[in-house]
């Protein structure tokens, strides 16, 4: 897609970027079950950082998901370098003892 001139709808541009990043394998969306205790989310974010992923967005999910009373769910949108990097991230999180699902 070529963007030129003043007729570009700037409200559409972020959606185009997200779509491109997803198709290129550079945007990864995951659901992770995390301990709902102080530091639980911080430990997960540390793993993301150590693997080299950038957090775009993060949401706590407590309703509508099968969770233990001491767990919370986390939906994370991450920027990764590509499909191999995404696979490395998922494997690393799983090997650290988390239940992770790519969405």
**Residue 53 forms part of a structural domain:** yes
Give domain status of residue 58, yes or no.
yes
Whether residue 14 is contained in a domain is answered as no
In a domain, 12, yes or no: no
**What is the sign, positive or negative, of the torsion defined by CA atoms of 12, 10, 29, 41?**
negative
pLDDT tens digits, one per residue of 53-70? 999 999 999 888 899 989
Strand order from edge to edge, sheet including 54-61? 54-61, 71-79, 27-35, 99-102
Confidence of residue 2 (pLDDT cuts 50, 70, 90): low
pLDDT digits (tens, 9 = 90+) for 72-100: 999 999 999 999 999 999 999 999 999 99
**Residue 5 counted as domain residue:** no
**Residue 83 domain flag:** yes
Question: Is 7 a domain residue?
Answer: no
46: domain CATH number is: 3.30.70.260
Query: Is residue 71 in a domain?
Result: yes
The closest alpha carbon to 24, from 75, 86, 74, 98, belongs to 86
pLDDT score, position 26: 81
Position of tokens 């590509």? 82
Which residues form the domain of 42? Answer: 26-102
| pTM (two decimals) | 0.81
Number of domains making up the chain: 1
């Amino acid at each position: 897609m070529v963007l030129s001139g003043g007729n570009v709808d700037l409200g559409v541009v972020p959606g185009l970027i997200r779509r491109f990043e997803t198709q290129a394998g550079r945007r990864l969306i995951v659901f992770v079950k995390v301990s709902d205790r102080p530091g639980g989310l911080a430990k997960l974010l540390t793993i993301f950082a150590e693997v080299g992923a950038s957090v775009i967005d993060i949401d706590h999910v407590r309703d509508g998901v099968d969770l233990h009373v001491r767990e919370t769910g986390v939906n994370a949108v991450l920027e990764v370098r590509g499909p191999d990097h995404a696979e490395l991230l998922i494997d690393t999180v799983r090997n650290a003892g988390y239940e992770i699902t790519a969405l």
